[in-house]
């Protein structure tokens, strides 16, 4: 076992170079002023104060959060019934339907978004509606798969026992199936919320540059204007919001498991 444990060293190096080091650089840029030399750093909180003083950045952040929440809600409304229908099918049919759901994910997300850009050109949708279509299409499979996994793990004997105790289909769903499937819903919310709130290529391609989200704002400060300090501050604020949302989701999931136990 000790010899096999050494195989993890390349991954640790890769994780440090690709994950830890970029995060350290973002934190460093966020708390320093523009134009620092290699040997001296001037630390400041002005980048964060600038974010809240700005008239554009907070409104863009709110728009991004609103879009992520609405996208999550629509994915649940569409994804839960879809996953429930899949779970009721025969095993062979379930495999086929799951394959159909995951099949578009085999294609690069940029290619899929470009395809929708061409399709939506024939429909008179608003810019915001086009972005919602792209968001839901790209992130819906995550919600369906997570909910389907939870539903498929429910012991059929629990449903039979519920009917034997006099519960009808609606009561069985409300008191047995829905509570047991909530971990999948929570996982789906997490998997949809994180990319939805930080996405920049979907609003860029489908919104035609007219619908700006926080991801587009960060991209603009890093690539277009070259203000890495302010861009890093916005990225750090977004990272904190995402960590808080993940903590809340894990807390809800933990409380739900305690209730079920």
Query: 55-260: what CATH class?
Result: mainly alpha
Q: How many CB atoms lie within 10 A of CB 147?
A: 28
The two counts, helices (H) then strands (E), for the chain are 14, 0
In contact, 99 and 141? CB cutoff 8 Å: no
In contact, 205 and 113? CB cutoff 8 Å: yes
* Mean predicted confidence (pLDDT) in 82-101: 92
In the chain, where the domains are located: 55-260
> Is the pLDDT at 222 greater than 90, yes or no?
no
* Mean predicted confidence (pLDDT) in 222-230: 86
pLDDT class of 73 with cuts at 50, 70, 90: very high
> Is the pLDDT at 219 greater than 80, yes or no?
yes
Where do we find the tokens 């008239």?
55
* Mean predicted confidence (pLDDT) in 5-26: 82
> Is the pLDDT at 74 greater than 90, yes or no?
yes
Q: How many CB atoms lie within 10 A of CB 191?
A: 18
Q: Look up residue 257 and give its two tokens.
A: 């498991």
Mean pLDDT of the chain: 86
Q: How many CB atoms lie within 10 A of CB 42?
A: 11
In contact, 196 and 72? CB cutoff 8 Å: yes
* Mean predicted confidence (pLDDT) in 120-135: 88
Best-predicted range by mean pLDDT (90-99, 106-115, 119-128): 90-99
Note if the pTM is more than 0.75: yes
Report the pLDDT value the prediction gives residue 13, as an integer from 0 to 100. Answer: 85
CA distance 57 to 51: 6
Report the pLDDT value the prediction gives residue 68, as an integer from 0 to 100. Answer: 92
């Amino acid at each position: 076992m000790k010899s096999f444990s050494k195989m993890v060293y390349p991954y640790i190096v890769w994780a440090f170079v690709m994950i830890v080091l970029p995060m350290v650089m973002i934190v460093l840029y966020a708390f320093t002023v523009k134009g620092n030399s290699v040997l001296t750093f001037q630390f400041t909180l002005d980048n964060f104060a600038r974010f809240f003083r700005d008239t554009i950045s907070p409104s863009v952040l709110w728009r991004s959060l609103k879009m992520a929440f609405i996208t999550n809600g629509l994915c649940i409304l569409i994804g839960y019934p879809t996953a429930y229908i899949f779970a009721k099918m025969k095993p062979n049919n379930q495999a086929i339907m799951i394959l159909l759901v995951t099949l578009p994910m085999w294609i690069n997300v940029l290619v899929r978004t470009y395809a929708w850009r061409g399709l939506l050109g024939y429909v008179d949708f608003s810019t915001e509606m086009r972005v919602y279509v792209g968001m839901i299409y790209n992130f819906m499979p995550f919600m369906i798969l997570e909910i389907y996994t939870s539903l498929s793990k429910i012991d059929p004997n629990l449903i039979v026992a519920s009917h034997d105790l006099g519960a009808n289909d609606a009561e069985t769903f409300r008191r047995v199936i829905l509570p047991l499937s909530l971990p999948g819903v929570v996982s789906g919310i997490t998997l949809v919320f994180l990319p939805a709130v930080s996405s920049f290529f979907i609003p860029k391609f489908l919104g035609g540059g007219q619908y700006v989200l926080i991801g587009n704002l960060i991209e603009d400060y890093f690539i277009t204007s070259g203000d890495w300090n302010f861009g890093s501050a916005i990225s750090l604020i977004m990272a904190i919001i995402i960590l808080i949302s993940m903590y809340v989701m894990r807390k809800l999931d933990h409380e739900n498991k305690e209730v079920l136990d």
